[in-house]
Amino acid sequence: ASTLVLAEHEGGSIKAQSLSAVVAANSLSQDNPISLLLAGSGSSLHQAAEKAATSHPYISQVLVADSEKFAYPLAEPWAKLIQLVQLKGDYSYVIATSDSFGKNILPRAAALLDVSPVTDVVDINGPHQFIRPIYAGNALCTVQYTGVNPCMLTVRSTSFPVPPISVDSKSGGPSISEVDLSTLDEDSVGKSRFMKLSSQDTGRPDLGSAKIVVTGGRALKSAENFKMIEKLAEKLGAAVGATRAAVDAGFVPNELQVGQTGKIVAPELYMAFGVSGAIQHLAGMKDSKIIVAVNKDSDAPIFQVADYGLVGDLFEVIPELLEKLPEKK
Amino acid sequence: MKIMVAVKRVVDYAVKIRIKPDKSGVETQNVKMSMNPFCEIALEEALKIKESGLAKEVVAVTMGPSNCVDTLRTGLAMGADRGIHVEAAPDLVPLSVAKVLKKLVEVENPGLLLLGKQAIDDDCNQTGQMIAGLLGWPQGTFASKVVLDKEKQVATVDREVDGGLETLCLDLPAVITTDLRLNQPRYATLPNIMKAKSKPIKKYTPEELNVEIKSDLEVVQVTEPPKRKVGVILSSVDELIDKLKNEAHVI
C-alpha cells in the first residue's frame, strides 16, 4: 500500500490538521509509505517542505508542486494536480483533512478519478473499512470501500490526534521532489479566480485545535454582550465558539460556528453558555472531553451531554467566573 | 439563462431518527420526509435570481424511487417551472448522482447548477464538487452570497470557509453549492401548491440517460453513537471551579 496525503501549509509550516491526516494514513496498514503533497508558490512552500521532511517521522516523501496556479486553494487546479500525481504514483489511498479545504477539493478529484470518496472518517476498522457519522452524528455508519485504487478519504482531525513528535535524526530522511507540472491538464483551470479572504485575527487560539473552547448561544442577546464570552476565553487561554443562532443573529462571524455544518471541535474542556443544545450543535462538540453547560432552562438538551451543569443566568455566572477563575498559567 | 437545481428527499430535519434493529440503516418508513434544507436554500436562490430577471427558467431535478416526486412537487410549489425525476434505487452514491446530473446538464444546457452543500442524511458534502469536476465547470461551494453579472457572464460567490469568508469569481456556467446563511427559503402557498400539480415533470431512467449505476461503497452497519455518561448538576460557581480544578483537572 501507499498513501498520498494532501496537506495545507501556512507561514512555512504544515498545518496541524494536515498532520492528523498523516496520523490516519499511518494507521491504515503496516507497510504504507506516506507521500505528502504540498502545493503553492514561493519560499514559504519550500520552507514547509523542508520542515515536513525533517520533522515528521511518518512521512517518507514530500512532493512539491510549485506554481502560481496553486497560490490560492482553488478546487479546479488542485483537483487536476491530485489527478496528475495519482496517475503517476498509483497510490492506494489519497487522504485529506475534512475541513473546508479538503472537502472542497477531494470530491472533485475523486470524480476525475472515477471513485467514491468517504467523507468525515472518524475511525479506521481495517484497510478498507471506515466509520463515519451520519445524520449529524446521531448514527455511525461503517462503510466498506470496494472500488479500485485510490481509496479516497477525508478524515476528522479531532479523531486522529497528533502525538508529540520526537525528531528522529535518522540518516536519509524523506526526499523532497518537485512535481513535473508540464502535463497538468489546464481544462477548467482559470475559470475561477480568488478575490479575497476576510477573516478576523483575534490573537486567540485556533478554534479547531484549542484545548479549551468557550461558546455562546443566542441567550447572549447581542454582539456587545458576547464580549463577555471573549473575556472569559481570554482569561482561560481559550478559543471562542458560537452556535448557529448566535452567528445568524450577527453576534460573531461565521468562522466561529460550532456544529454539523460549522467546525467540529473536541477540546479538553468545552464550556457552553446560553446554548440550548440543538442536535446540529451537539454534532460539533460532543466528543469534547469535559463539557460544562450553563443555561437558565434546566430542561435544555445541552445538559444531557454535559459533565457539569449549572442552571442559572449566564449574566450572573460569567462575571462571577471572571472574578473567581484563576489566571491562566 | 436556465438554472438547474438538484433537490433531495430526506428524513425531515426535526425528526429524531431511529436505527433499524438489524443495523442495516436508519428507519425511513412512516417517517416524515422533506426536502433537504440545503436544497431548499439552493432552490430559493435560483428563484430569487429568476425574479431579479437574470434567469428565465428554473428546473428542479431529483433522483430516487417514485415517492421522490413529492419533493419535486414541493419544489414546483415553491416556484420552480418544471421538474425532472430520474427513477432510481434509493441511496445512490454521490458519484452516481453526479454522473446522472452530467447527462441532464448535457440535455438541458443550464447556465448555472445549484445544489445544497450537503444532505442532512448522509452528510457527504460531495455531489456539487463531483459534478463540477465531471463537467469541467468552476465551483463555488459553501456559498453564503451569490451575485451574478450577466454582461460579464460571471458569478461572484462568498464562501464560508474555516478561515473566514472567501470571495471567488467564477466564469459561467458554474456549479454553486449553498450554505445556511445564503437566504431564507420561502414557504409554498396553497394556491401555488395547487398550481404545482399541473406543472410538468419529465421522467427518465439512468438507462435512458446511458448512465451505469454502480456503487463502490457498501454499508456494513449503522449503529448508535456511544452515549456520554450522565453528568451532574452543580449548585454554584464555586463548586464548578472546584470540580474543574480538582476532579477534571482541566484548569
Q: Which residue has the higher pLDDT, A164 or B81?
A: B81
Whether the predicted pLDDT of A266 surpasses 60: yes
State the pLDDT at residue A170: 54
Contacts of A289 in chain B (CB under 8 A): 250
Residues 142-161 in B contacting A (C-alpha not used; CB under 8 Å): 142, 144, 156, 159-161
Where exactly are the structural domains of chain B? 2-225
Q: Is residue A95 within 8 Å of residue A155, measured between CB atoms? A: yes
User: Region B61-78: what's the mean pLDDT?
Assistant: 97
Among candidates A129, A192, A248 on the partner chain, residue whose Cβ is nearest the Cβ of B168: A192
pLDDT band at B168 (very low <50, low <70, confident <90, very high): very high
Among candidates A136, A146, A260 on the partner chain, residue whose Cβ is nearest the Cβ of B218: A146
**Cα dihedral A90, A91, A95, A101 in deg (nearest 10):** -30
CA distance B244 to B248: 5
Contacts of B219 in chain A (CB under 8 A): 141-144
Contacts of B240 in chain A (CB under 8 A): 292, 308, 310, 321
State the pLDDT at residue B6: 98
Q: One fold for both A3-183 and A212-324?
A: yes
**Gap from B194 CA to chain A (nearest CA, Å):** 32
Where exactly are the structural domains of chain A? 3-183, 212-324
Where residue A145 falls (left for φ over 0; alpha for ψ -120 to 50; beta otherwise) is beta
Among candidates A114, A120, A253 on the partner chain, residue whose Cβ is nearest the Cβ of B123: A120
**Gap from A169 CA to chain B (nearest CA, Å):** 34
**Gap from A313 CA to chain B (nearest CA, Å):** 11
B165's grid cell: 469568508
| Beta-carbon separation of A198 and B165 below 8 A | yes
| Beta-carbon separation of B136 and A236 below 8 A | no
Contacts of A136 in chain B (CB under 8 A): 120, 123
CATH class for domain A3-183? Answer: alpha beta
CA distance B82 to B57: 8
State the pLDDT at residue A168: 57
Q: Is residue A27 within 8 Å of residue A126, measured between CB atoms? A: no
pLDDT band at B80 (very low <50, low <70, confident <90, very high): very high
CATH code that applies to domain B2-225: 3.40.50.620
Cis peptide before B21 (omega within 30 of 0): no
| Beta-carbon separation of B140 and A208 below 8 A | no
User: Region A234-243: what's the mean pLDDT?
Assistant: 96
| Beta-carbon separation of B120 and A260 below 8 A | yes
Among candidates B124, B144, B167 on the partner chain, residue whose Cβ is nearest the Cβ of A254: B144
Among candidates B98, B222, B250 on the partner chain, residue whose Cβ is nearest the Cβ of A268: B250
**DSSP codes of every residue in A87-148:** HHH--SEEEEESSHHHHHHHHHHHHHTT---EEEE-EEEETTEEEEEEGGGTEEEEEEE-SS
| Beta-carbon separation of A108 and B139 below 8 A | yes
**Gap from A174 CA to chain B (nearest CA, Å):** 30
Q: Beta strands A129-134 and A139-145: pairing type?
A: antiparallel
Question: How much of chain A, in percent, has pLDDT values that exceed 90?
Answer: 84
| Amino acid at residue number A146 | T
Q: Which of B161, B184, B213, B229 to mutate to test the interface with A (most CBs of A within 10 A)?
A: B161
Q: Rounded to an integer, what is the distance from CA B203 to the centroid of its chain?
A: 20
Contacts of A268 in chain B (CB under 8 A): 250
Domain A212-324 has CATH 3.10.20.90: no
pLDDT, tens digit, 9 for 90 and up, residues A103-151: 999 999 999 999 999 999 999 999 999 999 999 999 999 999 999 999 9
- Three-state DSSP class for residue B165: strand
CA distance A7 to A21: 8
**Gap from A52 CA to chain B (nearest CA, Å):** 22
Closest CA to B204 of B64, B74, B75: B64
Contacts of A197 in chain B (CB under 8 A): 161, 163-167
pLDDT band at A328 (very low <50, low <70, confident <90, very high): low
User: Region A44-60: what's the mean pLDDT?
Assistant: 90
**CB count, 10 Å around CB of A202?**
12
Residues 8-27 in B contacting A (C-alpha not used; CB under 8 Å): 11, 16-17, 19, 26
Among candidates B11, B164, B231 on the partner chain, residue whose Cβ is nearest the Cβ of A200: B164
| Beta-carbon separation of A289 and B131 below 8 A | no
Task: Please give the model's pTM, rounded to 2 decimal places.
Answer: 0.94
pLDDT, tens digit, 9 for 90 and up, residues B110-122: 999 999 999 999 9
Q: Which chain B residue has its CA at the smallest distance from A327's CA?
A: B251
Contacts of A261 in chain B (CB under 8 A): 117-118, 179-180
pLDDT band at A169 (very low <50, low <70, confident <90, very high): low
Decide if B179 touches A, using CB distance below 8 A: yes
Q: Which chain B residue has its CA at the smallest distance from A305's CA?
A: B228
Decide if B224 touches A, using CB distance below 8 A: yes
Whether the predicted pLDDT of A81 surpasses 70: yes
Q: Which of A100, A152, A298 to mutate to test the interface with B (most CBs of B within 10 A)?
A: A100
